[in-house]
Structure 1
Amino acid sequence: MHVTMEKPARKFVVGNWKMHGNLAALPVLGAIDAAARETPAVDVGVAVPATLITAAWQTANAIHVGAQDIHPADKGAHTGCLSAPMVKDAGAAFTIVGHSECRAGRQESDDEVRGKAEAARRHGLSVILCVGEPLEVREAGQAEAVVRAQLENCLPADADGAWLSVAYEPIWAIGTGRSATQDDIAAMHAVLRETCRAALGPAGDGVRLLYGGSVTPANAAEILATPNVDGVLVGGASLTAETFLPIIAHA
């Protein structure tokens, strides 16, 4: 099922399953879908592996099913890649672009990330655009400047809250034992909001800002109560209903 995303008042809770899951995981998706039906004031999405998009789309009634990445081109000699038309045809309603793992592992440039967002928009997909800084940038005191520039470089010119969300990933706080404080999150999300307003005008107020740094049931309530946090992008905790459903409830 394709469902229309509403902005900006509604929280958006998105699971990113990364390279996890097969058909045997569909009951987990079913439990998440049931929870979404019971919390209609919250938008819930799950970015599943490409092999599961169609099965997830056929299973879902209340959640947004998404892709984890796309190629900026609509078609061509790009072995192993998936285009926006392909993932939409499979059933995806949105895609993640610019995830920190893709930027680091595949050396994606800001131009490439922007191209992916523009491709998604051309084909009617909503977009979650990820930005964030590594530890050395934060320790150098350049975190806000670097993330601001990253977002400016990646934002499509016609972006608005009807189809775009921005997810902040503090790379230095993911799997390192360090954690972002509520003040850290509030400060960076204020920068993201200011950047969206400066680049997009009034449309920048409608862009939902998600936090994506090791979100768990234990810290979700505090994160979701932080100013300018309109939702969360959840990794490992989205893989089971036991850990993902409490996060939806907090939203």
Structure 2
Amino acid sequence: MRRKMAAGNWKMNGLQDNLAELDALAQGYGDAECDILVCPPATLINQAASVSGDSIAIGGQDCHKAVTGAHTGDISAQMLKDAGATHVILGHSERREDHDESDTDVRLKARAAIEAGLKVVICMGESLEEREANNTLDIIGGQLAGSIPDQVTAENLIVAYEPIWAIGTGKVPTLDQIGEVHDFIRARLVRRYGDGVGLSTRILYGGSVKPDNAADIFGVSNVDGALVGGASLKAKDFGQIITALASA
């Protein structure tokens, strides 16, 4: 059985005062029947790991492909782990767009993260233009093939499907559309890695997940949880999503 996961991406939000929300989340939902992951900005990772204890995993939002070097402003996977992170988000559409990250970039970062002992959450998704042109599965297939390294296992890989046009817009694909993509990802993982990895890897949905639509989304085939943006900043909102997932 795949254990469900609720992952929160704080993006470029959060100061030390916001750790009170993380503490409230740990106190109120730390014993939920699902895994909880919160990825705060890098400046808060060390403190967040202390606040969350053993009930909530802490992750980074990106890492460099190199172990060390002259890369001003970048953070290596080893640095994330040293700060207390156990996971890292890679290939988010905002990184792909804002920093021109390619599938190859994401794959090399994922390899570095896995070698450092981190678990990777690899994101993929189509633009509105690609969706309207009926190219969604071609886009997702290419991102799956190019972004995920060969050496992954079901223990260190999590895939997140986030249609770009649904992130922060309030727009959500139909349940059938979500199911089609998640079923496609599952089939491709099985074809590439076999049943062991393919059937055990968790696939999260992300893109305007909120307390009022979470339960319906979690009822869709091959949706093993959610990667949540804005709604993860408040313990009350994220907690309702966690409750819906635990009950799904």
Letter in 2 for 1:94: H
* Cα distance in 2 for residues equivalent to 1:222 and 1:90: 36
How many equivalent pairs are there? 243
* Cα distance in 2 for residues equivalent to 1:172 and 1:166: 18
Q: Is the 8 A contact 2:168 2:229 kept in 1?
A: no
* Cα distance in 2 for residues equivalent to 1:212 and 1:129: 12
CA deviations on 1:169-193 (whole Å, 9 max, x unpaired) are 1112224453211101000001110
The residue aligned with 1:204 is 198
Letter in 2 for 1:131: M
Please, what is the CA RMSD of the aligned residues?
A: 1.0
The residue aligned with 1:50 is 42
The residue aligned with 1:15 is 8
- Against the structure 1 CA distance between its residues 176 and 29, is the aligned structure 2 distance closer, same or farther, given a 3 Å change threshold? closer
The residue aligned with 1:102 is 95
Matches within 5 A, 1:1-251: 8-39=1-32, 41-61=33-53, 62-202=55-195, 203-251=197-245
* Cα distance in 2 for residues equivalent to 1:159 and 1:224: 25
* Cα distance in 2 for residues equivalent to 1:38 and 1:87: 25
Q: Is the 8 A contact 2:179 2:221 kept in 1?
A: yes
Letter in 1 for 2:123: C
Letter in 2 for 1:187: E
* Cα distance in 2 for residues equivalent to 1:128 and 1:27: 25
Q: Is the 8 A contact 2:170 2:208 kept in 1?
A: no
* Cα distance in 2 for residues equivalent to 1:84 and 1:175: 27
* Cα distance in 1 for residues equivalent to 2:41 and 2:237: 19
* Long gaps (5+) in structure 1: 1-7
Displacement of 1:248: 0.5
* Cα distance in 1 for residues equivalent to 2:176 and 2:48: 37
The residue aligned with 1:4 is none
Q: Is the 8 A contact 1:36 1:43 kept in 2?
A: no
Superposition TM-score, scaled by structure 2 size:
0.95
* Long gaps (5+) in structure 2: none
* Cα distance in 1 for residues equivalent to 2:170 and 2:119: 32
* Cα distance in 2 for residues equivalent to 1:231 and 1:97: 17
Q: Is the 8 A contact 2:168 2:230 kept in 1?
A: no
CA deviations on 1:55-113 (whole Å, 9 max, x unpaired) are 00111120000101101111111110000000100000100000010001111010000
Q: Percent identity?
A: 47
